[in-house]
Structure 1
Amino acid sequence: MSKVFFISDHHFGHGGIIDFESRPFKTVDEMNQVMMDRWNAVVLPEDKVFHLGDFSFLNKEKTANIVNQLHGYKHLILGNHDRGRARSWWLDVGFDEVSEHPIIYKDFFFLTHEPMYMNKHMPYVNVHGHIHGQKYEGKNYFNVSVEHWEYTPITFEQIRDSVVADEEQ
């Protein structure tokens, strides 16, 4: 049975992010390879991955090379660093779907790149990236930036179970 995964903010090819976010890599090439390996270690070809933005800083050919090595059906929600390129560019490099706007998943989860305003009385959860190693407090936010998950996509069940655990506390 196929699974659904979430991840954001790989910043493939972005050397500065290693220092900005204290990533444990010596070079961009090492970072790129480790992140691809960790993706493919958990995602099978029949799985679906929602990438919540800021995928790559590389050119079209190098980005396509990475996308085509990654397992799964890949759905990109454009992040602030992705928007300089047209939706068609991202489809051309191999993403199966590209969204310019947030998605509502399973009538309860708002999938966005940047965290959105969530009133504490709202019964929904905003699954997001953008803020990397930071974390918003409260049960309404779930950060899937790579820095929180050892550079590995996480399953929908991990998110759902974490949200349920927060509500029980």
Structure 2
Amino acid sequence: MPTDFFISDHHFGHKNMIDFESRPFSNVEEMTSEMIAAWNSVVGNEDKVFHLGDFSFLNQEKTKEIVSSLNGYKFLILGNHDRGRTRSWWLDAGFHEVSEHPIIYKHFFFLSHEPMYMNKHMPYVNVHGHIHGQKYEGKSYFNVCVEHWAYKPVTFEQIRDSVVVSEEQA
């Protein structure tokens, strides 16, 4: 049975990200190959991956090479660094689906690039990226940035179980 995965903020091709986030790579080429290997170590061809933005700083040809080397059905929610390119640019780069806006997943999970304001009366859990190594406190937020997950996409079950969602809500 296929699995749904979530991840964000690979920043493929962004050399400065190695220093900004103390990533354990000596150069951008090593970062690219290690992140592709990490993705493919958990994602199969039948699985679906929701990438929550800031995928690549590379040109379309190089981005397409990376996207095509990653397992699974790939759904991109545009991040702040992705929005300079059109939705069709990302589809042409190989993503199966692209959204310019956050989406609701399983009636309870709010998927967005940037963390969204969630007050105690909102019934959603915000699955997000953007803040890299930082983490928001509380059960209303779940950060899927690569830095938190050893560069591997995280399963829906891992997210659900960590926020202790009741069966009526999931």
User: What is the TM-score when the length of structure 1 is the normalising length?
Assistant: 0.96
- Equivalent pairs: percent with the same residue? 78
Stretches of structure 2 lacking an aligned partner (at least 5 in a row): 166-170
* Alpha-carbon separation, structure 2, partners of 1:10 and 1:54: 6
Match of 2:24 in 1: 24
Give SS of 1:50's match.
strand
* Alpha-carbon separation, structure 1, partners of 2:123 and 2:135: 19
| 2:154 is aligned with 1:160 | no
Match of 2:2 in 1: 2
Corresponding letter in the other structure for 1:83: R
* Alpha-carbon separation, structure 1, partners of 2:38 and 2:24: 14
* Alpha-carbon separation, structure 2, partners of 1:126 and 1:107: 12
Deviation at 1:87, TM superposition (A): 0.3
Match of 1:150 in 2: 150
Give SS of 2:76's match.
strand
Match of 1:36 in 2: 36
User: What is the TM-score when the length of structure 2 is the normalising length?
Assistant: 0.96
Match of 2:168 in 1: none
* Alpha-carbon separation, structure 1, partners of 2:43 and 2:21: 25
Match of 2:123 in 1: 123
Corresponding letter in the other structure for 1:95: F
How many residues are treated as equivalent by the alignment?
Answer: 165
What CA deviation, in whole Å up to 9, does each residue of 1:91-134 have, x standing for no partner? 00100000000000000000000000000232210000000000
Deviation at 1:23, TM superposition (A): 0.5
Stretches of structure 1 lacking an aligned partner (at least 5 in a row): none
Give SS of 2:12's match.
coil
* Alpha-carbon separation, structure 2, partners of 1:120 and 1:15: 39
* Alpha-carbon separation, structure 1, partners of 2:23 and 2:121: 35
* Alpha-carbon separation, structure 2, partners of 1:8 and 1:61: 21
Aligned ranges for residues 8-87 of structure 1 at < 5 Å? 8-87=8-87
Tell me which stretches of 4 or more aligned residues in structure 1 moved more than 3 Å: none
Match of 2:95 in 1: 95
Corresponding letter in the other structure for 2:7: I
